[in-house]
Structure 1
Amino acid sequence: MICQRYTSLIKIQIKRLFNHIFPYLFFLSYFLIPIYCGIKFYSPQIIKFIVLIYFFCACAVFVLLKQAKKKKYLFSIENEKLTEDINILNGKIKTHSIITSVLGDKIRRYSALKALTEKLVQKVSLDDTADLILTKAYTLIAHSKGRAILYLVDTKKQELNFFASYGGVSSVKDTRETVGARGADVFDDWIFKHQVPLLIEDTKKDFRFDAKVSFKAQHPIGSLISTPLIVGKRIVGILRLEDEKISSFSSDDLRFLSVFSDLAALSLDNSKLYEHTQHLAITDGLTGLYLRQYFMVCLNAAIKETINTGVAFSILMIDIDRFKKYNDKFGHISGDIVLGRIAKVLMKECPREGAILSRYGGEEFIVLLSGIDKTGAVKIAEKLRKKIAQEKIVLRRTKTHVTVSIGISTCPEDGRLADELLKISDIYLYKAKQKGRNGTCFC
């Protein structure tokens, strides 16, 4: 390889030398050949003839060399121009390819956004809507890396509450014990206060938060992009994407997130409104407990489950003792206060899992205890009865106490039909009243 390279270089140098020396050798021969011929033949005519021929030949060669040099010069200029045009075209091709790639990505994103709109129309549950928004934000904006986090605003307290997240190591929906355990941080508080989108390429170097980032996050944050979810003039939440690496998000991601957030905010607000409306349809406005109609639906479902699995459940029917006396003495508004306070005690003291609390009618309440047999139901009933009796209620500046009587029935021990179980609970309730009130009865 080295010999071939040096051989080619030598050939190039010889060619250049020949191109430069040849004209001079030709003109030198213009003088040498006539002299040689004149010495050899001693003829002036021959010398003149040869000189004349050489003169014309020299002129012809000079003209040809001049034209060749000019053509070579023009060719080099044309070659440089063509090279420049090729470079410009290559640059344009590269630019167009980048633009095509970017436009293709935008088209893909906005096409997915259109499909997301169609899917969100079909979602009414807040959990389903949030899951869909998080997964799409994770894939379309975060490019399936880092984490997507959703905070919702508690309208009563006007504070951010963690709702759900998606991504991380397992790329699944996180729980409150993981990402949400730390709650909102300085970035979320800043967005909640200013209600504008936020892009941070490096959390350690951003002058707005460098001095404030003092919390110890379970997941290191290198960069993040976040936006408020606004409906009208109300902020309903914050959608945030974060990654451990720096510069994971761009300004184009922020622009797309702003469009995405408008759709997400409206969908979440509609889902919250739907759930609130649904809640109002099945709950009592005074006590906040479920209405009788919804309780009956839950009771029938519990009976079917008990028949299939054999797992027992119990019913507590609760009635306020001498409720009419409170109404007559303190007025109907005071009666409403009593109902509300007892409902709060029931919600606080009943098991949080598997308990359905309902206002059965008037001053009666009913509780369904899933997976609780007769013995367990009696313990819970006694606990509730004592807590209610200890509750201090102020009616027209007068401290008073109320008591309740409780009847207990258990499925399948006392029956396998809803009407049968309710009838037995009612019978035991009135037995408790006949025994002097402020007691429980189960047999």
Structure 2
Amino acid sequence: MTSCLSTEELRDLIRPIATRLPGAQSELCMREVVTETLACAQSFVPCEAGSLMLSHPDEEGALIFVASFGMGASKLPGTILPAGTGIAGQVYKTGVPFLTNSPTADNNFYQEIDRLTAHKTESLLVVPLSAFGESVGVLSLLNRIGDGFKQQDLDLLKVFSQYLTQSMQLMMEAKRQEDVALKDHLTGLYNDRYLYSYLARMIKDCLEYQHDLGLIFLDLDHFKAVVDTHGHLIGSQALAEIGRMIGQVASKYGAVCARYGGDEYVAVVPHSDTATMNELAESLRRTIEAAELVCKTEAGQKIVLERMVTASVGVVCLSQMPTDGLSSESARQQLIRVADEAMYKAKALGKNRVHWY
């Protein structure tokens, strides 16, 4: 039986890899791809154990076990192999496959994995996973059943490694296309299409489990003056930078943010409360008020928009709303509407402030 990291964990690990691979058009379940690849490799090259390791996203040169089969396999997924450690580390570093039927005699052999799994490595076959000539992981098989590993085993494992690399890209390209369709092209935040579906789902969940949910509706003050003075190119750059700031601040609170349209932004915080929402709203307002927006003209001239824009912020919590008998879609529409009304009230009271529904 193969032990493997979760699909989400695998996606996080292979996202940096996918950016270096050619495009593809369909989605596969990464967990199934990994386990299927190891199962096929085991059936064509009979062996006692095997593992897949991928580049560690945070430790340069290090590998992380993502799937394994054989004795002690359940102990390996998530285990980190430091940079350059062991035969696998050398294969990853050099990009050169390695075959040996006397691994313990090799100076690079790393005994800690045998100790961890309580399984003795007697023969070893390791091939790199490569993208454009750069190693992004390794696939290894241990203890060939029979007379030890042969060259034909190495050739076959290379085929499996190519299949796995392509399959990772299939899934990640599909995920990228999905993200593109749901993201605002200018700010990188989610778009209103995703906001509507996400908010309806979260409202349904919070009502069912009696959790609260907060929503912030934010509109920029004085933004028209920026466009009138500096033009649409600078205005677009300013919107993008403000969107980045909003996403950065709101992520600390577990918020999902969207550009609602024009210079309007929305942040949704499931399982929140009034104190948290007020803190987030004020943090967003202060961040935008103090922002120094660095932009460039078509000629490449740098322009700094210093404290030219502020924000009027409307806030509402689901617990403030009468939701009896409402569908999640109706509750979504009502929540956005009253948050929008609170934002306009903030503008009417003098702008650059937070107003609760």
TM-score, length of structure 2 as denominator length:
0.72
CA distance change for structure 1 residues 350 and 225 in 2, over 3 Å: closer, same or farther?
farther
2:312 to 405, 415, 427: 405
Per-residue deviation, 1:371: 0.9
Q: Are 1:129 and 2:29 matched, yes or no?
A: no
CA distance change for structure 1 residues 170 and 161 in 2, over 3 Å: closer, same or farther?
closer
Per-residue deviation, 1:441: 1.5
State the one-letter code of the partner of 2:140: L
Whether contact under 8 Å (1:415, 1:421) holds in the other structure is no
Per-residue deviation, 1:302: 0.9
Q: Which secondary structure does the structure 1 equivalent of 2:320 belong to?
A: coil
Q: Are 1:240 and 2:147 matched, yes or no?
A: no
Whether contact under 8 Å (1:385, 1:403) holds in the other structure is yes
1:341 to 220, 241, 249: 241
Per-residue deviation, 1:204: 5.5
Where relative contact order (Cα < 8 A, 6+ residues apart) is larger, the structure is 2
The residue aligned with 1:148 is 51
1:250 to 117, 133, 149: 149
Whether contact under 8 Å (1:354, 1:371) holds in the other structure is no
CA distance change for structure 1 residues 355 and 301 in 2, over 3 Å: closer, same or farther?
same
Q: Which secondary structure does the structure 2 equivalent of 1:359 belong to?
A: strand
2:187 to 271, 277, 287: 287
Q: Are 1:164 and 2:66 matched, yes or no?
A: yes
Whether contact under 8 Å (1:355, 1:368) holds in the other structure is yes
Q: Report the RMSD for the aligned CA atoms in angstroms.
A: 3.9
Per-residue deviation, 1:352: 5.7
1:231-277 per-residue CA deviation (whole Å, 9 max, x = no partner) reads: 6x4657323226699x9972344232112122212211211211111
Q: Which has the higher helix share?
A: 1
Per-residue deviation, 1:183: 6.0
Q: Which runs of 5+ in 2 are unaligned?
A: 1-24, 296-301, 324-330
Whether contact under 8 Å (1:236, 1:269) holds in the other structure is no
Matches within 5 A, 1:169-248: 171-172=73-74, 178-180=78-80, 182=82, 185=85, 190-191=90-91, 194-201=94-101, 205-206=105-106, 209=108, 224-230=124-130, 233=132, 235=134, 237-241=136-140
State the distance in 2 between where 1:143 and 1:315 align. Answer: 55
Aligned-residue identity in percent = 22
The residue aligned with 2:219 is 319
State the one-letter code of the partner of 1:411: L
State the distance in 2 between where 1:345 and 1:319 align. Answer: 14
CA distance change for structure 1 residues 319 and 167 in 2, over 3 Å: closer, same or farther?
farther
1:11-51 per-residue CA deviation (whole Å, 9 max, x = no partner) reads: xxxxxxxxxxxxxxxxxxxxxxxxxxxxxxxxxxxxxxxxx
1:287-309 per-residue CA deviation (whole Å, 9 max, x = no partner) reads: 11111111111111112112211
1:159-209 per-residue CA deviation (whole Å, 9 max, x = no partner) reads: 88758333587634866xx413746757566545654423345556436x5
Q: Which secondary structure does the structure 2 equivalent of 1:397 belong to?
A: strand
Q: Which has the higher strand share?
A: 2
CA distance change for structure 1 residues 262 and 400 in 2, over 3 Å: closer, same or farther?
same
CA distance change for structure 1 residues 239 and 193 in 2, over 3 Å: closer, same or farther?
closer
CA distance change for structure 1 residues 215 and 403 in 2, over 3 Å: closer, same or farther?
farther
The residue aligned with 1:423 is 337
CA distance change for structure 1 residues 418 and 258 in 2, over 3 Å: closer, same or farther?
same
CA distance change for structure 1 residues 398 and 356 in 2, over 3 Å: closer, same or farther?
closer
